[in-house]
Amino acid sequence: MIRKATLADRPRIYDIRHAVRENRLSQASAAKVDTTADWIFRNAAFWVWEEDGAVQGFAVADPRDGTIFGLFIHPDYEGRGIARALLPRACEDLRAAGFAVATLTTGPGTRAERFYRENGWEDVGRQDNGEIIFRKAL
């Protein structure tokens, strides 16, 4: 089931974010991620996939800058189409905020890179840290 997250889901969202095998959250990024998540919980929406009595994945957009802030699935639930079901919800939030294009970044050579390429996202360059910048028309 896809639904908007509540604050009660935050611990499980945190668990999923830290359980992933790729795109691990560095200590240096943790404070920024927490601050952004606080703002989004107050002002926008996290979309979650609930199955077997718990949240197993989430997607979230940042409507302040037109980015997909996160798309993460618990490792035990990967490969089931959950990301493909959740991502359009986050993209719709960006469209509703007035954006015509969504942007995101991910590491090269990852499953995430393959996922975004296979789902119509365009590689438009690299960040200084080597992450791929993807864009997609909404």
The model's confidence at residue 42, banded by pLDDT at 50, 70 and 90, is confident
Do 46 and 58 touch, CB atoms closer than 8 A?
yes
For the cut 80, the answer to whether the pLDDT of residue 28 exceeds it is no
Higher pLDDT among residues 15 and 125, named by residue: 125
pLDDT of residue 34: 73
Averaged pLDDT for residues 46-72: 95
For the cut 80, the answer to whether the pLDDT of residue 114 exceeds it is yes
Q: pLDDT averaged over the chain?
A: 92
Q: Which CATH number fits domain 2-137: 3.40.630.30, 3.30.70.360, 3.30.70.120, 3.30.43.10?
A: 3.40.630.30
Averaged pLDDT for residues 30-56: 85
pLDDT of residue 131: 94
For the cut 80, the answer to whether the pLDDT of residue 11 exceeds it is yes
